[in-house]
């Protein structure tokens, strides 16, 4: 008489799983579009967007600033943000050579840490997080605002608005930004 051993239920299930995996074809996967995410903000009539990774935090404009004697007019002062002393820079005056940003309930400060420099950038309004399809980025069309050209990294267009990609790393390396003393 032959001794036939029946496999244990666990062994039988493992064998069934292995055979199933060998024969499975899988579902077709459509290509996943690459998304570019950024913080959108406004300076005057100029709409800008900067990479999400370039902004540490967005906060309301602080009520109290310490004055910085001998600084250029675009340095609004020094803010103490949770124990971190940050120069507050009016981005409108720095870049567009326009009027000082009018402080209101929409004014925000973009906290950046780039190239070892911590700073708060005053902007007129933060419009939230914008998502764009990476393939729609236009890197060839020049920026219309001459003062922003050194910091522009292309643009996106959606909802009939043109969003200029603003490079914070280029800003903090620029001579204009680094020379804050009168």
Question: Closest Cα partner for 78 from 90, 92, 91, 64?
Answer: 64
Give the model's pLDDT for residue 3.
58
CB 145 within 8 A of CB 96: yes
Q: How many CA atoms lie within 13 A of 120 on its CB side?
A: 25
pLDDT in tens, 33-82: 999 999 999 988 889 999 999 999 999 999 899 999 999 989 999 999 99
Within-domain flag for 127: yes
The DSSP output letter for 71 is B
At 167, which CATH number? 2.40.50.180
Residue 22, domain member (yes or no): no
What is the total count of domains within the chain?
1
Asked whether residue 93 carries a pLDDT value surpassing 90, the answer given is no
**Domain of 151?**
35-178
89 domain residue, yes or no:
yes
Instruction: Please tell me the predicted confidence (pLDDT) of residue 4.
Output: 65
**Is 163 a domain residue?**
yes
3 within domain boundaries: no
1 pLDDT higher than 70: no
Edge-first strand listing for the sheet containing 46-51: 125-133, 35-43, 46-51, 161-166, 152-158
- Report the pLDDT value the prediction gives residue 2, as an integer from 0 to 100: 57
> Given this model, what pLDDT does residue 140 score?
87
């Amino acid at each position: 008489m032959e001794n036939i051993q029946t496999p244990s239920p666990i062994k039988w299930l493992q064998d069934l799983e292995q055979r199933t995996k060998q024969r499975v074809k899988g579902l077709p996967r459509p290509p996943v579009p690459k998304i570019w995410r950024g913080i959108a903000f406004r300076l005057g009539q100029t709409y800008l967007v900067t990479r999400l990774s370039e902004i540490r935090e967005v906060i309301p404009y602080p009520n109290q600033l310490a004055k910085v004697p001998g600084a250029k007019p675009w340095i609004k002062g020094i803010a103490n943000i949770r124990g971190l002393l940050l120069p507050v820079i009016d981005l409108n005056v720095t870049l567009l050579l326009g009027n000082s940003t009018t402080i209101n309930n929409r004014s925000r400060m973009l906290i950046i840490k780039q190239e070892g420099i911590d700073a708060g950038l005053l902007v007129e309004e933060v419009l939230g997080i914008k998502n764009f399809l990476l393939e729609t980025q236009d890197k060839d069309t020049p920026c219309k605002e001459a003062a922003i050209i050194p910091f522009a990294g292309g643009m996106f267009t959606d909802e009939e608005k043109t969003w200029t990609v603003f490079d914070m790393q280029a800003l903090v390396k620029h001579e204009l930004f680094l020379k804050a003393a009168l």
